[in-house]
Chains A and B, each alone.
Chain A
Amino acid sequence: MSDFNPSPEFEEKVRRAMEVPDAAPEFVNRLQNELARRPVKMTSRFTLKPAWTFALALVALTMIASAPAAVNALKRLLGYVPDVGLVENTGSLRMLAEPVTVTRDGVMLTITHAWVYQDHVELTYTVQGVGESLETGSDTCGYIHPNNDFWSDADADLRLPDGTIVRRDYAGAYQSANSFAMKPVYAVEIPSDVMELTMVLKCIPFTRIGEAPENWEVPFKLVAIPEGTVIGEPVIEVEATAVQPAVEPTAEATSSVPAPVVTMSLTKIVPLESATLVYFRMDMENPDPSLISIMPADAYLINSQGQKIDLIGGYTWQPFEHRVGSEFEFRSQTKPADGPFTVVVEDAVAYYAPLYSEPQQATPDEMSFTFDAGEKPQYGETWQIGRTIEIAGYPVHIVSARAASFADIQTPDFVNGSQGYDYGYEFLVETDPSAKLLVWMDIMSETANCWLSNQNINIPESSSIDFTMLCKDGYPKGNVRVTIGELSILVDNTWQTIWTP
């Protein structure tokens, strides 16, 4: 399949082919009146933090009495459970009474966690003893990719005592050879008197049909968590104060490119036995509307004895999943000495995506350029482009395009080789010398399928880069249209804030 920019006419044809009637005005009015009469108590909202991360290990849970942990801590019943994440006791929380394991034909399925909140259920189960390689073909049970929202037989359902079946709402998964963990989440309100549920699974994800036991039913018991109880390690919530960068932006005063002011706000601290968790947010003052994300490049803390301790991010580098203002979790490599410590963040990367921001900040035409590669592009052939596209105030100069091959970008990182993406184009892209950039570009061809690129770093290092995009079935020919999807700019600053217990 190839990528292309569909014509509005064809999209309109699809729209017309899928056309269905609108709801009748009588029905719309009747339902609105019914909703207006419905007696619902509008309570204040709470913010439930994501409590699922990818992990395999069983965890021990500690229940401790809630107590204010620090002068500047906010009063919330938020706890941290190792290998699970943040758990908030909203007053009617139920949890797994004890892990449950069922073994059939050498395949061991264990429910390791279950959290029943007011409005949803979070489950974690692990599977061990399946084949060495996890299969994802059409003759398999199906697969669950983290955050995939399509259901398959591989999805575990929940069965309530009255027989009601609940399908999962979100999912996360962690997999490795012959074992994996699943973290389905069910958006359902479980009646308060229900203290036993059953996990129902048609077949084991990633396995070939018939190669592993099927039709699993695993009942598990719940226990109610007393009100006022914090689950796991207490979380110290910080009165977040935005910290300005300690080092001024490097863009020269005479430069015409923006010098964004990015702030860092410490939000939570979780002291653990062998480490400390640090949570913070990054924001930008008066951001360009196409700003998607600000990802911290490096973080560490300096403890009360002046020792530097690295902070390891507990997240993947996915800017679209870490929108501006979202919280980052970091774990210190070792436990800092008692007393205050300084949290330091060095550099960040700002992601701009005018085509994918809401509302869209540019049209595909404005973010695209074309060049005529002719009917028989030859390896090494070069075309001068000389087009400048401005994104968020940064000029993106597309200098040239060169016909390239997989050999040009091949490194040991490409463990699967070219996968058929053997031919494409290398683009020389530059911006103002005071800025450092990376770009993501797509060859939007109706006749070529282009995907493999050489962009394997996250931190911009230069004001000039070579971006290569490779395609299947030869070089795209004729007028090749290229669209810039993302621009990332290094924010060359340091932020630091002191945490005093």
Chain B
Amino acid sequence: MVGLIAEQKMQKTITTHDIPALVQAAREDPIAFGRLYRHFVQPIYRYLYSQVGTVHDAEDLTSQTFITAYESLPRYRERGYFSAWLFRIARSKMIDHFRGGRREVQLEEAERLSMMQDVLGQVIQDEEAHHLRSLIQKLDDDEQEIIRLRYVAELSFAEMGDLIGKREDAVKKSVYRLLVRLKDQMESSHE
């Protein structure tokens, strides 16, 4: 029955409210997992790409993330947001990626930066965005992560709060304060 309800809901765009029913359906019906996958694959991929900077690594980590999620779903604890659980897996895979090949990471870093520049050349149309990106890259790791989760992964404040273990209003304030700082830095650099 749950699967049927979830399937009916799938006739329209998936919303946050639909996720619990889809997760429940996916426990009993592997096909239903495909719908969750379709909903989350691009945000997960973009998030991972923004970290590793290469299509190959982003695809590899995205695959690992969803395979782990798929295999772990029967043991998924319904506590908090499914998206936070999924991104937690993605972050874990990414950490393993960097830790597993620390020496290679240094070599890849050059490649990554190089490729990021290529990508930037394609997607950043104006100098202002380029400048803003360089300011974001100067933020510390935690701050960059907040920006990525919000503006690359497009997570809600509540989902971010669940993921990083903070109240959603505190997350919202953190994001907004970062934006204030970035905006101030943008403006002062124009003066």
A3 touches B176 (CB 8 A): yes
**Residues of B contacting A: mostly:** helix
30 pairs, CB–CB < 8 Å, chain A vs chain B = A4-B180, A6-B176, A11-B179, A17-B132, A18-B133, A20-B46, A20-B49, A20-B152, A21-B55, A21-B123, A23-B62, A34-B63, A34-B67, A35-B34, A35-B66, A40-B71, A41-B74, A43-B74, A48-B75, A119-B72, A146-B165, A150-B142, A167-B92, A353-B169, A356-B168, A358-B16, A358-B158, A359-B15, A485-B169, A486-B169
Inside 8 A of B79's CB, which chain A residues have their CB?
Answer: 50
Chain A nearest CB, measured from B17 CB (Å) = 7
Inside 8 A of B42's CB, which chain A residues have their CB?
Answer: 22-23, 28
A13→B158 CA distance, assembly (Å): 22
A18 touches B180 (CB 8 A): no
Inside 8 A of B169's CB, which chain A residues have their CB?
Answer: 320, 353, 356, 485-486
158-181 of chain B: CB within 8 A of chain A? 158, 161, 163-169, 172-173, 176-177, 179-181
A14 touches B151 (CB 8 A): yes
A28→B66 CA distance, assembly (Å): 11
The closest CB in chain B to the CB of A33 belongs to: B34
B167 touches A320 (CB 8 A): yes
Chain B nearest CB, measured from A447 CB (Å) = 10
Inside 8 A of A165's CB, which chain B residues have their CB?
Answer: 99
A31→B76 CA distance, assembly (Å): 21
B151 touches A15 (CB 8 A): yes
A5→B6 CA distance, assembly (Å): 36
Inside 8 A of B191's CB, which chain A residues have their CB?
Answer: none
- What does the 1/0 interface line of B25-41 toward A look like (CB < 8 Å)? 00111110110011001
Counting CB contacts under 8 A, is B9 at the interface?
no
- What does the 1/0 interface line of B129-172 toward A look like (CB < 8 Å)? 11011001000011001011001100011100101111111001
B interface residue numbers (CB < 8 A to A):
15-17, 27-31, 33-34, 37-38, 41-42, 45-46, 49-50, 55, 58-59, 62-63, 66-67, 70-79, 88-89, 92, 95, 99, 119, 122-125, 128-130, 132-133, 136, 141-142, 145, 147-148, 151-152, 156-158, 161, 163-169, 172-173, 176-177, 179-183
If A3-B177, A18-B50, A20-B46 touch, whether A170 touches B78 (CB-CB below 8 Å) is no
The closest CB in chain A to the CB of B172 belongs to: A356
A169→B91 CA distance, assembly (Å): 9
Inside 8 A of A31's CB, which chain B residues have their CB?
Answer: 37, 41, 59, 62-63, 66
Chain A nearest CB, measured from B85 CB (Å) = 9
Inside 8 A of A20's CB, which chain B residues have their CB?
Answer: 46, 49-50, 119, 123, 152
B157 touches A169 (CB 8 A): no
Inside 8 A of B67's CB, which chain A residues have their CB?
Answer: 34-35, 38
Chain B nearest CB, measured from A100 CB (Å) = 25
The closest CB in chain B to the CB of A485 belongs to: B169
A148→B76 CA distance, assembly (Å): 20
The closest CB in chain A to the CB of B142 belongs to: A150
Inside 8 A of B66's CB, which chain A residues have their CB?
Answer: 31, 35
Inside 8 A of B158's CB, which chain A residues have their CB?
Answer: 356-358
Of A3, A16, A486, which one neighbours B124 at CB under 8 angstroms? Answer: A16
A150 touches B145 (CB 8 A): yes
A2 touches B177 (CB 8 A): yes
B124 touches A19 (CB 8 A): yes
Inside 8 A of A44's CB, which chain B residues have their CB?
Answer: 27, 74
**Residues of A contacting B: mostly:** loop
Chain B nearest CB, measured from A16 CB (Å) = 5
Counting CB contacts under 8 A, is A408 at the interface?
no
Inside 8 A of B136's CB, which chain A residues have their CB?
Answer: 14, 17-18
A366→B123 CA distance, assembly (Å): 35
A18 touches B92 (CB 8 A): no
Inside 8 A of A32's CB, which chain B residues have their CB?
Answer: 34, 37-38, 41
Chain B nearest CB, measured from A73 CB (Å) = 22
A28 touches B41 (CB 8 A): yes
Counting CB contacts under 8 A, is A118 at the interface?
yes
A3 touches B173 (CB 8 A): yes
152-180 of chain A: CB within 8 A of chain B? 165, 167, 169-171
Inside 8 A of A150's CB, which chain B residues have their CB?
Answer: 141-142, 145, 164
Inside 8 A of B33's CB, which chain A residues have their CB?
Answer: 35
Sort A-B residue pairs by CB-CB distance and give the 9 closest, nearest first.
Answer: A147-B165, A23-B45, A17-B132, A17-B133, A1-B177, A149-B164, A43-B74, A119-B75, A320-B167
Counting CB contacts under 8 A, is A220 at the interface?
no
A46→B125 CA distance, assembly (Å): 50
Of B38, B58, B88, B129, which one neighbours A17 at CB under 8 angstroms? Answer: B129
Of A2, A22, A47, which one neighbours B77 at CB under 8 angstroms? Answer: A47
A21→B27 CA distance, assembly (Å): 31
Most buried by B among A6, A14, A34, A358: A14
B129 touches A36 (CB 8 A): no
B165 touches A148 (CB 8 A): yes
46-91 of chain A: CB within 8 A of chain B? 46-48, 50
A318 touches B76 (CB 8 A): no
16 further contact pairs, Cβ within 8 A, besides A36-B31, A358-B17: A4-B180, A6-B176, A6-B180, A11-B151, A17-B130, A22-B46, A28-B42, A32-B37, A32-B41, A41-B74, A150-B142, A150-B145, A170-B165, A320-B161, A356-B157, A358-B156
Most buried by B among A20, A42, A165: A20
Inside 8 A of B165's CB, which chain A residues have their CB?
Answer: 145-149, 170-171
Counting CB contacts under 8 A, is A45 at the interface?
yes
Inside 8 A of A43's CB, which chain B residues have their CB?
Answer: 74
Inside 8 A of A214's CB, which chain B residues have their CB?
Answer: none
The closest CB in chain A to the CB of B152 belongs to: A18
A1→B161 CA distance, assembly (Å): 20
A13 touches B147 (CB 8 A): no
Chain A nearest CB, measured from B42 CB (Å) = 5
B77 touches A48 (CB 8 A): yes
A357→B159 CA distance, assembly (Å): 11
